[in-house]
Amino acid sequence: MRLRGRKGIRENLEQQQDLVVLDPREYKGRWSEVFGNDHPIHVELGMGKGKFISGMSVKYPESNFVGMDMYDELIRRGSEKVRNHWQEQYQTEPESVRLALGNIESIEEFFAPGEIQRIYLNFSDPWPKKKHGRRRLTHPRFLEKYCTLLNDEGEIHFKTDSRDLFQFSLNAFAASGLQMRNISLSLHGEGINEEHVMTEYETKFVGQGMPIYRCEVVIGESALKRYHEHKMDEF
Ligand SMILES: C[S@@+](CC[C@H](N)C(=O)[O-])C[C@H]1O[C@@H](n2cnc3c(N)ncnc32)[C@H](O)[C@@H]1O
């Protein structure tokens, strides 16, 4: 994603302490205090301009949402989007959502074990060259970290336009011994699936007629138990 430099962005972010977290390390193990409740915490890793996290936060106000990205300018754009969305929907400032500046490489420094209920990986950079495979956010080295941070109900929801990244990721989930479900090779194949809040990239790719690949990974013990009890229901 190409970003133009913009003066005063950091100052802008510093003035938004109700929404923007500039040093997520400060809140490791204390995110419930940040939100003032113990509702489940859902995190989008690589939120881009924030369309998805802002849409999810107004659609599901009973959950807490953290959108993370490593660029100040994306956090700033996301903050505008979130504030506008909350004003339109609830005529209030945002409550159950925070935008955090951080590099996912260090995710274990931002969240404590079992602190997250769901991780969203939306249109993660595909890193097509084989030598860059370790940078893909579904590489087993990242999956190991996610598994530690997810709670008893923990899941990963992954969508992408990249067939190669999808194939790599399914193999990475399998190699890590993780249970997949609801695998789709064309999420919007029969028209836009209104259940799914769309991301910026998704809106663009769907507009170009490209298929969207999606799957869920069931990780937490209770989530897995429920999955096994009902896994044959849909067949
Ligand atoms: C291809 S964009 C997708 C954005 C958004 N999820 C969407 O679907 O529209 C990938 C995003 O992930 C962010 N990203 C990639 N690697 C990251 C990392 N290691 N830490 C934090 N953010 C990262 C990029 O800055 C970019 O905003």
User: Which residue lies with its CA nearest to atom 14 of ligand 1?
Assistant: 46
Residue that wins the pLDDT comparison between 5 and 120? 120
Which ligand 1 atom sits closest to the C-alpha of 46? 12
In terms of residue numbers, what domain contains 110?
Answer: 9-230
pLDDT digits over 196-230, tens only? 899 999 999 999 999 999 999 999 999 999 999 99
Say if ligand 1 is within 6 A of residue 100 CB.
no
Helices (H), ranges, 157-211: 163-175, 200-207
- Average pLDDT in the chain: 96
* pLDDT(1) > 60: no
Say if ligand 1 is within 6 A of residue 160 CB.
no
- The one-letter code for the residue type at 211 is P
The answer to whether the beta carbons of residues 220 and 153 sit under 8 Å apart is yes
Using CA atoms, how far residue 205 sits from 32, 129, 146, 166, in Å, is: 35, 22, 27, 15
Active site residues: 125
What's the whole-number mean pLDDT along residues 117-140?
98
The structure's pTM equals 0.96
Say if ligand 1 is within 6 A of residue 69 CB.
yes
Q: Which of 26, 188, 76, 56 is CA-nearest to residue 118? A: 56
The answer to whether the beta carbons of residues 75 and 14 sit under 8 Å apart is no
In a domain, 1, yes or no: no
Which ligand 1 atom sits closest to the C-alpha of 202? 8
Q: How many domains does the chain have?
A: 1
In a domain, 235, yes or no: no
Q: Is 107 helix (H, G, I), strand (E, B) or coil?
A: helix
Which ligand 1 atom sits closest to the C-alpha of 74? 27
In a domain, 212, yes or no: yes
| CATH code: domain of residue 48 | 3.40.50.150
User: Which residue lies with its CA nearest to atom 24 of ligand 1?
Assistant: 46
Q: Which of 104, 121, 135, 202 has the most ligand 1 atoms within 8 A of CB, as the residue to mutate?
A: 104
Using CA atoms, how far residue 192 sits from 57, 85, 121, 216, in Å, is: 20, 21, 19, 19
Say if ligand 1 is within 6 A of residue 67 CB.
no
Say if ligand 1 is within 6 A of residue 73 CB.
no
Q: Which of 43, 66, 68, 123 has the most ligand 1 atoms within 8 A of CB, as the residue to mutate?
A: 123
In a domain, 45, yes or no: yes
In a domain, 3, yes or no: no
Q: Which residues contact 173 (CB under 8 A, 6 or more apart)?
A: 138, 143, 180, 215, 217
In a domain, 171, yes or no: yes
Of all residues in the chain, the percent with pLDDT exceeding 90 is 93
In a domain, 140, yes or no: yes
Residue 217's φ and ψ, nearest 5 degrees, are -120, 125
